[in-house]
Chain A
Amino acid sequence: MSGAISGYLVFAWSGVLLFGLGLFGFIAHRHIVRRLLAFNIMGSGVFLVLVGLAQDGRGVDPVPHAMVITGIVVAVASTALALVVFRRWYRASGRTDLPEDT
């Protein structure tokens, strides 16, 4: 891990960058669909960290890949549920964002 930034760390740092970008979007945006997109970008960042850090010359490691596949399934399911709730909310209230806390 010492010396110059080797190839595998590029993926991991890109993942961290994506996570940060997504987090910013998640907090900055009010539109729920934009926040869901930001959530998915954060998720991709985490997956990139998982597979990126696993390429550090320890040989082929299937565990992170299994985790990423499970993570993708979870992300798809969460996004689907969020979109269903959003559609119901939009139809009921006509708003694309959440009301501010009282």
Chain B
Amino acid sequence: MIGLWSLPLLFALPLALGILSLLAAPAWRPRLIFIGLPLMAAASLDTLAGLVTAGPQVYRLGDWIAPLGINLVVDGLAVGMILMTTLVTGLCALYARVYLRNHPTSTSFFWPLLWFLWTGMNGIWLAEDIFNLYVGLEVMGLAAVGMVALRATPPALAAAMRYLLAALLGSLAYLLGVALLYSAYGTLSMAGLQEAATSNATTQVALALIIVGLLLKTALFPLHAWLPPAHGGALTPVSALLSALVIKASFYILLRMWLMLGPEVTPDFTAGLLGVLGAGAVFYGGWMAWRQHHLKQLVAYSTVAQVGYLFLFFPLVTNTGPEAARLAWDGTLMMLFAHALAKAALFLSAGNLILAVGSPQISHLIGISRFRPMSLFSFGLAGVSLMGLPPSGGFTGKWLLLHSALLSGQWWWLIVLFLGGLLSAAYIFKVFRMSFREGPQIDRSVTPPLTLDVVALLLAASAILIGLTAHVPLHWLRLGMAFGAV
């Protein structure tokens, strides 16, 4: 049995640390990460080692049988998400420890919420049944809402409220879909549903409810309205966590649902429709990002755009032949991982720039390149990946998607990839143009602590690195999936 000790720890440990940090005195709460992060990293790496040595499998929690106990799935995708979560959350926690010194009122609840968020995310990556996915979504969602509200200013509270209402509506739609699926097939397990499900009205209504609920939570255009205020208005490490990881959780469920039921059950146009909505998101998000005047709002709208690329997966994987489907899978996951790393880096370096000039306005960045070259360098490296320039992860992902589109004869998605890249370049260079301009605005800047710059640079560098070594993660991510055979 693989990962005997590490697998339950992946969500038991952050849960315990969350409760512990609630009990601890506020001064001690940040220090818990020095115990927690190494343990989480060890547990994640042990899970990877288990996957490598023993291959993908299902782990029975406490050895209880399925409807009574909880099954955890350990395949390439789940382990990949766990490792990425550990990397991004760990770095964001190191960033937050320094960053939050300037926000003493917000710190006391950031740390418990961070651990609860981690619990929910790891629960989602590992869940094998559709009800535990719901529980994970709620644990993660409520922690995320709390984190958005941390700033406690009226705009932050309004953003948190809007986020919460959208999340609740999405969860209920998802839960109603789960209720219908269970009553129709008498099982909650993904593998069981895949075997049992047939294309009938109940399944279609259930899947439609699930898909719409998850689209709302993933903030796919035109259901994205809650995202920019929540992600753009939160504290910087919170923005990074939400955009990099939380948004991916509902997409991850959608991905698994689609591979489990989608093509057999849904009408033919569904996959195309999801692709068109994704294309709409790429254009609208890119356009709105370019029009923003606040740096973090720009980065938040960039998330709306980047989420759109992920949805090209559905038309490219449905009824397109094994080779095109495998390329679409590789490309989408590469986009997902590259975006997670690059967006976290972009938010953190944007936060550093804002700290340096003391203003969230893009127009106040004039001349900052002379004072904060390192923050700007991280911003640029992350931007390279978002624009999809080689050799970044974003480039590799787009390249794979492009090949998949050509192979399946759906050339029109190339327009989305190409114009989307141009729009990303437009909004990234908007920031750069301002920062390289010489102006009278500032003649000095505040120097943020070195840790903040180093963390942002590490994340940005990993977004590039994942593109250079793409074949390694992609090989592991295919483990346990139908795409592994090719």
Residues of A within 8 A of B (CB): 12, 19, 26, 32, 35, 39, 42-43, 45-46, 49-50, 53-54, 56, 58, 61, 63-64, 67, 70-71, 74, 77-78, 81-82, 85-86, 88-89, 92-93, 98-99, 101
Is chain B's binding surface mostly helix, strand, loop or mixed? helix
CA–CA, A64 and B186, complex, Å: 10
Asked if B169 contacts A19 (CB within 8 A), the reply is no
Asked if A49 contacts B161 (CB within 8 A), the reply is no
24 A–B pairs (Cβ distance < 8 Å), ordered by A: A19-B176, A35-B165, A45-B176, A46-B176, A49-B176, A53-B182, A54-B183, A61-B186, A67-B131, A67-B178, A67-B182, A78-B164, A78-B168, A81-B142, A81-B146, A82-B165, A85-B157, A85-B161, A86-B161, A92-B152, A92-B157, A98-B158, A98-B161, A98-B162
Q: A19-B176, A85-B164 are in contact. List 10 more A-B contacts (CB 8 A).
A: A26-B165, A39-B172, A43-B172, A46-B179, A61-B186, A70-B131, A81-B142, A89-B157, A92-B152, A93-B154
Asked if A58 contacts B186 (CB within 8 A), the reply is yes
Residue count of chain B within 8 Å CB distance of chain A: 32
A82 to chain B, nearest CB (A): 6
Q: Determine which of A26, A64, A99 lies in contact with B158 in the assembled complex, contact meaning CB atoms within 8 Å.
A: A99
Given the complex, which residues of A lie within 8 Å of B158, measured CB to CB?
A: 89, 93, 98-99
A54 to chain B, nearest CB (A): 6
Which residues of chain B in 162-199 are interfacial with respect to chain A, using CB atoms and an 8 Å cutoff?
A: 162, 164-165, 168-169, 171-172, 175-176, 178-180, 182-183, 186, 188
Asked if B474 is at the interface of the complex by the 8 Å CB criterion, the answer is: no
Asked if A77 contacts B142 (CB within 8 A), the reply is yes
Given the complex, which residues of A lie within 8 Å of B387, measured CB to CB?
A: none
A48 to chain B, nearest CB (A): 9
Given the complex, which residues of B lie within 8 Å of A71, measured CB to CB?
A: 175
Given the complex, which residues of A lie within 8 Å of B145, measured CB to CB?
A: 81, 85
A16 to chain B, nearest CB (A): 8
CA–CA, A71 and B138, complex, Å: 10
Interface string of B8-24 (1 = CB under 8 A from A): 00000000000000000
Asked if A39 contacts B179 (CB within 8 A), the reply is no
Given the complex, which residues of B lie within 8 Å of A101, measured CB to CB?
A: 225
Taking CB as reference atom, which chain A residue is nearest B161?
A85
CA–CA, A63 and B185, complex, Å: 13
Asked if A88 contacts B152 (CB within 8 A), the reply is yes
